């Protein structure tokens, strides 16, 4: 999965379950009116070593592996905690699990929801946050593996009974 595909699948899930505006964090734009939810992929890591296939007849190999990432969801507004509870609970439904799986994502675990209410001047802004770990597959195609088409070699063997023996040959794999 590409980063764009991961973001699209996550946005689709959150947007379908939340009755709020949903945006990606750290955008250079004003925040929407409260209540809204921000999404942030905060960490992406390879899990184990990637598998590299042997080159096929065209010299192309595939590199495949698992990627694990953390999605941080932060809700703003009076219903922040409830909004995240609804999203967390939706992860337990078969329909959401299937939709995420169809998109290429697997849910690893979700953390507890935290109340992170923030003081804005003389008022408090209700906020809540929770993290979800996902896994996705990664695959790239390496066209640069190639093959050696022609091998030419020559040499001389010394110490034979009749003196030295010279040899030369060409191997063409095409």
Q: What is the pLDDT along the chain (174 residues), one digit of tens a residue?
A: 889 999 999 999 999 887 788 999 988 888 888 889 999 998 899 999 999 988 887 788 889 999 999 999 999 999 899 999 999 999 999 999 999 999 999 999 999 999 999 988 888 889 999 999 999 998 888 877 666 778 888 888 787 677 777 778 888 766
Cis peptide before 35 (omega within 30 of 0): yes
The hierarchical CATH code for the domain 3-147 is 3.30.70.1700
Helix (H, G, I), strand (E, B) or coil at 55: coil
Per-residue exposure over 44-82, b if at least 16 CB sit within 10 Å of its own CB, e if not: eeeeeeeeeeebeeeeebbeebbbebbbbbbbbbebbbe
pTM above 0.85, yes or no: no
Question: Residue 22 corresponds to which tokens in the numbers above?
Answer: 């949903």
Enumerate the β-bridge partners of residue 38: 23, 74
């Amino acid at each position: 999965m590409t980063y764009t595909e991961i973001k699209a699948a996550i946005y689709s899930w959150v947007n379908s379950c939340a009755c709020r505006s949903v945006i990606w964090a750290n955008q250079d734009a004003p925040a929407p009116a409260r209540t809204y939810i921000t999404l942030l992929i905060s960490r992406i890591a390879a899990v184990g070593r990637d598998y590299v296939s042997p080159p096929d007849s065209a010299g192309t190999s595939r590199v495949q592996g698992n990627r694990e990432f953390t999605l941080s969801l932060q809700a703003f507004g009076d219903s922040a905690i409830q909004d995240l509870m609804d999203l967390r609970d939706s992860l337990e439904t078969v329909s959401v699990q299937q939709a995420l799986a169809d998109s290429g994502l697997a849910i690893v675990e979700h953390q507890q929801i935290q109340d992170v209410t923030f003081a804005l001047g003389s008022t408090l802004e209700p906020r809540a946050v929770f993290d979800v770990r996902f896994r996705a597959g990664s695959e790239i195609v390496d066209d640069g593996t190639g093959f050696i088409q022609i091998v030419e070699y020559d040499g001389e063997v010394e110490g034979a009974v009749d003196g030295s023996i010279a040899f030369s040959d060409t191997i063409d794999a095409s």
